Structure 1
Amino acid sequence: MFWRTFSGLARLSSWRRPQHRAGRPRKRSPYRWILAIVAALGGLLLFCLFVVPQIRRFRFRTDLSWYDLGVHGFGPSQSYVSFDQDSPVVQISPSDAQCDGRYTFIAPRGDSVAYPGPMILDARGELVWTRHQWGTTQDFRVQRYRGEDFLTYWQGDEEDAHGRGSWYMLDSTYTQRYVVSPVGNLDGDLHEFQITPNGTALIIIYEPIPADLTSVGGPELGWLYDGILQELDIATGELLFEWRSSSFFSPNSSYEPLRDRGHERTAGYDYIHFNSVDKDDQGRYLVSGRHTHSITCIDGNTGDVLWNLGGAQNEFSDTSEDAKVDFHWQHDARWRGPNTISLFDNEVEADTDPTPVSRGMMVEVDAPARQVKLLRTYDHPQAMMTPSQGNLQLLDTGNVFVGWGHSAAYTEFTSKGDVVCDVHFGASAFFSFGRIVSYRVTKSDWVGMPNTIPDAAFAGDSIFVSWNGATEVATWRLEAWDGLNLSNMTFNPISQVPRTTFETEIPLTPELDSYLRVCAVNTNGEVIGMTDVFSRISAHPRGIFASVRNWGAVLIGIFALCCLVFGVYCAISRRLRGRRSISGGSYQPVRPRDDDDNESELDRLPV
């Protein structure tokens, strides 16, 4: 009796909740299926438009190492205890690589580069010198001026695919000695700074000029970026020669699409895009125009065009037997003799098409007969695709050194094109994304004697020492105060450790708690530099707790982790409470009944 009464009340309390009748499934609207199909088609379209092109940019191969697959990051780097900047961790192949023993000069930049700027590496990829720069640094290399070696580079800002800056020359102490700027109210472009044996500099400038662009579908009163070559006397700044691309090349000789360019002075049509200038001992200039696919020879006295190779105004026939002299979007055209030139053939302008392969080229030019012949190509074993930048250097050993520009790699070949050393300073599977690039990479001898003192820092039971830019350090000698006279301190040698990497660790024994210093010693046993005097006792806190900034980073990390854990806890708790409220609520299922059952729930209650 009690159970029937309770059941009746329960049914009465839920009589207002609508329920489906037994045996009659709910009718689903056909619009739901239509909306689902439309949503799926839209998602597929977005995937094809935005995701597939990015997947095609990956350069995956079956022979890639973990380094090239990006397991260690897009651009693996290493930090130091005594130095506050990072340097790349390189991968050298093959395992028996015989890399040229000279220094490598690069200027890495990109989203995966923490400290962009000029950088010197040794043959093993170890850091020798670097400097974090404002703006952009490009074309970093060693050049000789008046019998002295200088580090030269361009520095400034990039604007509309060209540069606005100046060229700098540093001596062996890394002291700035010269700053070179164009003649006229113009900014220097980032692509070229070539010092000639006569002590002059070849530079490139972009200047917006009014132009009729109707031949390429542009406005009649439009704007064109005129490519200008200048030769300057470095010592006096005097202008010795100037040549403009608009005097020979018309806008319709370009392979660069106009798109929406040419309507404003600050967004002119970059129809030629000069990227290299060279000069031979006959006074002939060699100019590379990337957007016209042309290499042009110019008379140094009259400014007349002697010949033009490639592009719409090509004057040469090809006598090559197999591969042809067929280049596109090229860089770094150089004289290699009276009738021989080299260049870096990018072959592609963008990284959307994975088919073209970039390469270095040596070409024989018979100017009187207007014939060219391909002598040799230098191809990367991974079929490198470099949509921008790049260079080729002919070493005095006969080998050829190629920097792959947009791809973070440089390769040394024999004169016949065989690879003897291949170095990556970024994961090659992601080269097409341009996260690490270097406009050019070169090899050279260099002697660096910085006018700074070596850096040292304690960590644990060791002292770490380095000297940014010093090339002549053979060993590091640890010295300790003899404990006699503080006003005229005398130090005794304690230990000596060979310098094999940029930073050297020197172990310390427990009894070494007095004043210490570290001396840099060259191969002749001469001291060429020494650190400040320091005390191990006062330095211990620095070794254990690197800096206040590190503590701040730790505290921020702990706070962020606590917030994350608390947020997850709140979300899970709320979810569980919601489930309990649904399962334990007052609403219960109602027994289905027939339509002809007119007996009310109240009539069924016992009296």
Structure 2
Amino acid sequence: MRYTCSVAFLLSYLTCMIVAAEKTPKYEYHGMRKFLTRPDIEVPTWKVSVYDEAKVAPGHWFVAPYEVNGNKKPGGSWIGPHIFDSTGELVWSGSHMFKRINVMDFGVMDVGGEDLLSLSYAVEGRGYILDKQYKVKQTVVEGMTGKTYNMHDFHTVENGSHFLYLQRNITHASAQLAKQDLGYDGECSVTFPGFEERDVKTGEVLFKWDATGKIPLSDSTLTHGPVENRCTGGAWDYLHSNAIDKLPDGHYLLSTRHSDTIYKISADDGSILWRLHGLGGDRSDFAMGDLKFSRQHDVRFREHNVTHLIISFLDNATGADPQPATHEWSRGLLIAVSERDMTAAVIASYDHPQHGKSYRRGSYQPLPNGNVFMGWSEQALHSEHTPDGKIVMEAVLTEHKLGTYRSFKFPFTADPQYPPDIYANASTFASITQTSVYASWNGATEVASWRLSKTDKKGEKSLPLTIMPRSGFETLITYDGYAKYVVVEALDINGRSLHTSDVAKTVASKNLDPDAVAEEQQWLHPESSSASAGSSLRGFGVFTGGLFCGVALLWGALFWKRRRERRRPRYERVAGEEEDETKMDELSHR
């Protein structure tokens, strides 16, 4: 076989450009990538900067891009849960699985001792658990409406045996409560946050809490504008809960963005045990020194000892409202809280890569190697930091219109049961015929290479052609020659077969070399070629046999005639002979 890289590249490039042009959507977004094998998938691309590769933790990125928060209608095929490798290459797109509608909090969590995919799907008011074949294994909070389901947090506690998730209750605070807390005369339309803890296996509600009557309206720091506007403008989101976690003593940590506060809530009676207020002062139950934070996200308990609780969160430090910033830029914070001395202090800080601000959303995740993975939300910017705060990697989407709620990094393996996807075309250029085959397998994490084989329409015969290392989500494999039907086989790092694609018919260009077509036809149907040749030989044999017989008969007739003539007696004409012959003729015609 003859392989010509330059021609291969040119042919595949031209094919990609032509097919992509035919499939260009009406909308225009920058930095989007399309695939020949999966024209239904379109993903944003990344700008990745690695500063110290040796210190970057292994793992995949878990990101759920969206355009507009709260969107309930299908968007582009880049909306929804996605997994990317550490270079920004797509591993899995779940966009169509979730109808191209926003999902939140997409990642991996321990469910009953097994690491599974999880996400919050607000449009249906429930959480989803997917197995490692990307099949729905469980849905949580069936029947809740989008108005009562709070998509901000959904995870497990108690070694994966219990779910924790947020709720919200839109109601009217009584005139008495509004007067007491706000000095407002009249009812006040308010969103009161809450949460539930449920058993993973049975779905039984183990604990349920609501802020109504427990956290006063006066705790809110979202207070710009007249109080009348807040109370009559429709469901004032006075707390805006965005994280819930459980402590070793059985009580709960609740983060509410619009009060800049982390609350400890009693598991006994639901009362507030203490407040850690980001603005400090009399509102906080702790002496905080120079620690200040605001509009925080992703509050989590990390560890504890006899004297301290260790808590992590993203300090957004500002919001989209007029409240002054509490720090020059957003940062991840790891703090120590002493419930004995009632003090709080910073242990470590992880700064925004550009010393910028995340005005909304974000995440903080410790990694197994000690690094910290920060999600900054805007353009899905995320960064990885060593324990001392040094940035070793950062990545950002090239499309500035997109964002994500949280970003995570996990080591993850998956084994899809559906076959790989394949697209093939063939053409002749500069007297060289080439088949270009594109292979992908959405969600597969263990593919190291692809084996290309040509086959027949039913896949009953096969001839291996080449093996090509996997190169990103979609790999180009070229073969010098024409293969009418092809299959690809996914191989792992040890060469073990993982799965085989369905048979694909190659799209042949109009300029395809007829000799290459004939050669492939002969390979596909060798018996037809043999039968055709045999038929021709038989025809030639009949013709030559008949000709030989004819010549032999003619020769035999001539030979017999000459022999008779040699045996006839010689004589001389005598008088009266003509008269006798004439007489004989007359007798014969009677």
Q: What TM-score do you get using the length of structure 1 for normalisation?
A: 0.69
Instruction: Indicate the larger mover: 415-424 or 275-284.
Output: 275-284
Partner Cα distance (2:444, 2:38) in 1: 13
Structure 2: 5+ residue stretches without partners: 1-27, 69-74, 427-434, 513-590
Deviation at 1:539, TM superposition (A): 5.3
Determine if the alignment matches structure 1 residue 370 to structure 2 residue 326: no
Question: Does the 8 Å CA contact 1:181/1:187 hold for their aligned counterparts?
Answer: no
Alignment of 1:204-603 (within 5 A): 204-211=166-173, 212=175, 213-214=178-179, 215-216=181-182, 218=184, 220-257=186-223, 259=225, 260-263=229-232, 267-310=234-277, 313-319=283-289, 324-338=290-304, 339-350=309-320, 356-426=328-398, 435-459=401-425, 461-481=435-455, 489-510=460-481, 512-536=482-506, 538=507, 540=509
Q: Write out per-residue CA displacement over residues 201-241 of structure 1, whole angstroms, 9 at most, x where no aligned residue.
A: 00100101221434436552122111111101122221101
Q: Write out per-residue CA displacement over residues 95-143 of structure 1, whole angstroms, 9 at most, x where no aligned residue.
A: 5545322011010111696520000000111100012233321110001
Question: Does the 8 Å CA contact 2:383/2:394 hold for their aligned counterparts?
Answer: yes
1:194 paired residue number: 155
1:136 paired residue number: 102
Question: Does the 8 Å CA contact 1:75/1:436 hold for their aligned counterparts?
Answer: no
1:63 paired residue number: none
Amino acid at match of 1:77: M
1:601 paired residue number: none
Question: Does the 8 Å CA contact 1:275/1:332 hold for their aligned counterparts?
Answer: yes
Amino acid at match of 1:221: E
Q: Which has the higher strand share?
A: 2
Q: Secondary structure at the match of 2:150?
A: coil
Deviation at 1:300, TM superposition (A): 2.7
Q: Secondary structure at the match of 1:192?
A: strand
Amino acid at match of 1:303: G
Alignment of 1:67-216 (within 5 A): 76-84=31-39, 85-94=41-50, 96-98=52-54, 99-110=56-67, 114-132=77-95, 133-134=98-99, 135-157=101-123, 165-181=125-141, 187-196=148-157, 197-211=159-173, 212=175, 213-214=178-179, 215-216=181-182
Partner Cα distance (2:277, 2:209) in 1: 20
Given the superposition, is the C-alpha separation of residues 303 and 156 from structure 1 closer, same or farther in structure 2, using an over 3 Å criterion?
Answer: closer
Deviation at 1:515, TM superposition (A): 2.5
Given the superposition, is the C-alpha separation of residues 218 and 459 from structure 1 closer, same or farther in structure 2, using an over 3 Å criterion?
Answer: farther
Partner Cα distance (2:34, 2:476) in 1: 14
Instruction: Indicate the larger mover: 106-115 or 281-290.
Output: 106-115
Deviation at 1:335, TM superposition (A): 0.7
Partner Cα distance (1:187, 1:203) in 2: 11
Q: Secondary structure at the match of 1:246?
A: coil
Given the superposition, is the C-alpha separation of residues 495 and 332 from structure 1 closer, same or farther in structure 2, using an over 3 Å criterion?
Answer: same
Q: Secondary structure at the match of 2:121?
A: strand
Deviation at 1:298, TM superposition (A): 2.0
Partner Cα distance (1:469, 1:440) in 2: 20
Amino acid at match of 1:383: H
Q: Secondary structure at the match of 1:406?
A: coil
Question: Does the 8 Å CA contact 1:261/1:269 hold for their aligned counterparts?
Answer: yes
Partner Cα distance (1:296, 1:235) in 2: 29
When the two chains are superposed, the root-mean-square deviation of aligned CA atoms in Å is 2.6
Q: What TM-score do you get using the length of structure 2 for normalisation?
A: 0.71
Deviation at 1:198, TM superposition (A): 4.6
Deviation at 1:87, TM superposition (A): 2.0
Question: Does the 8 Å CA contact 1:363/1:374 hold for their aligned counterparts?
Answer: yes
Amino acid at match of 1:262: C
Q: Secondary structure at the match of 2:152?
A: coil
Amino acid at match of 1:498: P
Given the superposition, is the C-alpha separation of residues 113 and 368 from structure 1 closer, same or farther in structure 2, using an over 3 Å criterion?
Answer: farther
2:6 paired residue number: none
**Count of equivalent residues:** 448
Instruction: Indicate the larger mover: 280-289 or 381-390.
Output: 280-289
Q: Write out per-residue CA displacement over residues 496-516 of structure 1, whole angstroms, 9 at most, x where no aligned residue.
A: 001131110001222x33422
Partner Cα distance (1:96, 1:258) in 2: 44
Given the superposition, is the C-alpha separation of residues 221 and 382 from structure 1 closer, same or farther in structure 2, using an over 3 Å criterion?
Answer: same
Amino acid at match of 1:201: F
Given the superposition, is the C-alpha separation of residues 488 and 150 from structure 1 closer, same or farther in structure 2, using an over 3 Å criterion?
Answer: closer
Question: Does the 8 Å CA contact 1:458/1:540 hold for their aligned counterparts?
Answer: no
Structure 1: 5+ residue stretches without partners: 1-72, 158-163, 544-607
Instruction: Indicate the larger mover: 218-227 or 517-526.
Output: 218-227
Deviation at 1:88, TM superposition (A): 2.2
